[in-house]
Structure 1
Amino acid sequence: MNLKSSAFACALALAPATTYACDTALILTIDVSNSVDVAEYRLQIDGLADALQDPEIRDTMVQTGTTVAVVQWSGEDKQEISIPWTEVKTVFDVERLSQQARALERAFVLSDTAPAEAIYFSLRMFDDVPQCNRRVIDISGDGTPNGGSDVRVARNAAERAGVTINGIAIESLGVAITNFYQSSVITRNGFVMTARTHREYPATLRAKILREISRIFG
């Protein structure tokens, strides 16, 4: 091998790998049960779209390697993948995700609240992203279950699988939903944030996503 060929081989060996590294696989779930009216659904959808356009969230997703999916859920047999797994490699990927989120039509109406089944449904989705280092379910809601199975059993299944569950409790009065999420929904390494009414949901969601993808826990 001549000197020129040797130098080229060395440069090739030292070049950074082009394989996409996925740090976090994040499922963003949207509660569309009967307690969520048309205006509240719109606040959730626009809040998600706006959060994805936030420069800090956008840049962190690209820099750390995030793969995102969006699920709508309500009753026991009502879960839908609204946006399939999407690798975020560029700012254009994030912009496209935001546009898709804003255009989402509501998947279910007049249905119960079954967060356990939303968790089980989300857990199965992680089989499609085995390359990601962390797996996180972002679940939010404005009520406690009135359908489906025991959410604590579903939470425990997530813990055994090494999946983190974080939550947003949307309150109207008091902290009953926050306490329920704290005791029964989030995993031991997860956290819950409180939104006072659906109008606070967009700002809370932005803070929550940033906390999730930045590895700032506690």
Structure 2
Amino acid sequence: MVLGLDISSSVDRAEDALQRGGVASALLDERVQEAFFASGLPVALAVFEWSGRYNQEVLMDWRLIHDQSDLAVAAETISNSRRSYAEFPTAMGDALRFAAQMLNRSPRCLAQTIDIAGDGESNEGEGPQQVYQDAAFDAITVNGLVVANAADFQTPARLTQFYREEVLHGHGSFMIVAEGFNDYARAMRDKLERELAVTVVGALP
């Protein structure tokens, strides 16, 4: 699983702090930690930030999450990270390609997931549906964390519609909506718990 954090120009300093703190808080949440360890197998986790076409930076490279201490280190790494850029637009297609390249060098996993978070539509370079034509995305699921903005309180909700129609990709993909950056931590907790939950195929009484 690779998490992509939006640091485009629409995200100010305070919102960026809420975003990083939200990820760190989610990784330390008891329910999320239970979900991480539910399968009995380690989860490979990486985190990067993204904005313009050529503006992606790894915040935490691949780390196998075996236990709570690994999650504590991951949370501290993200909490202490510092934003690389603040003035570039929203090139989501390039962010997705960057994430796919990261997955290409990840530990071998049963599933590959990209989590792309953002507060705006893609407005530079290729859009998500264009990059999904690449065979590299055939086995990748892309989920979204939508940070609702002013346009999303209109009818139709523009940003959530964009994520639903253009960003979500692969079997079982879904999105979680944060009602602004103040709600980011809660949304990230809910998303990680849902993504990591073990699917029950069948059961007997």
Q: TM-score, normalised by structure 1?
A: 0.83
Cα distance between partner residues in 2 of 1:142 and 1:44: 11
How many positions carry a matched residue from both structures? 191
Counterpart in the other structure of 2:60: 83
Q: Does 1:39 align with 2:14?
A: yes
Counterpart in the other structure of 2:31: 56
Unaligned runs of 5+ in 1: 1-25
Cα deviations across residues 108-141 of structure 1 (Å, max 9, x unaligned)?
A: 1111100100000010111222520000000011
Aligned mate of 2:128, from 151, 168, 192:
151
Divergent runs of 4+, >6 A? none
Shift of 1:160: 4.3
Who wins on radius of gyration, i.e. which is larger?
1
SS in 1 for 2:132: helix
Shift of 1:34: 0.1
The structure whose residues are more often helix, as a share, is 1
Specify the code of the residue in structure 2 equivalent to 1:166.
N
Unaligned runs of 5+ in 2: 200-205
Q: Does 1:123 align with 2:100?
A: yes
Q: TM-score, normalised by structure 2?
A: 0.88
Cα distance between partner residues in 2 of 1:114 and 1:149: 7
Q: Residues 46 and 63 of structure 2 are in contact (CA less than 8 Å); yes or no, is this contact kept in structure 1?
A: yes
Cα distance between partner residues in 2 of 1:121 and 1:158: 14
Counterpart in the other structure of 2:115: 138
Q: Residues 120 and 149 of structure 2 are in contact (CA less than 8 Å); yes or no, is this contact kept in structure 1?
A: no
Aligned mate of 2:45, from 68, 83, 91:
68
Distance 1:199 1:68, change over 3 A: same
- Of 130-139 and 154-163, more deviation after overlay is shown by 154-163
Shift of 1:150: 2.4
Aligned mate of 1:178, from 148, 160, 165:
160
Shift of 1:158: 6.8
Cα distance between partner residues in 1 of 2:116 and 2:141: 11
Q: Residues 75 and 112 of structure 1 are in contact (CA less than 8 Å); yes or no, is this contact kept in structure 2?
A: yes
Specify the code of the residue in structure 1 equivalent to 2:9.
N
Counterpart in the other structure of 1:209: 192
Distance 1:163 1:49, change over 3 A: same
Q: Residues 146 and 176 of structure 2 are in contact (CA less than 8 Å); yes or no, is this contact kept in structure 1?
A: yes
Specify the code of the residue in structure 2 equivalent to 1:38.
R
Q: Residues 142 and 168 of structure 2 are in contact (CA less than 8 Å); yes or no, is this contact kept in structure 1?
A: yes
Shift of 1:43: 0.5
Shift of 1:155: 3.2
Cα distance between partner residues in 2 of 1:135 and 1:80: 20
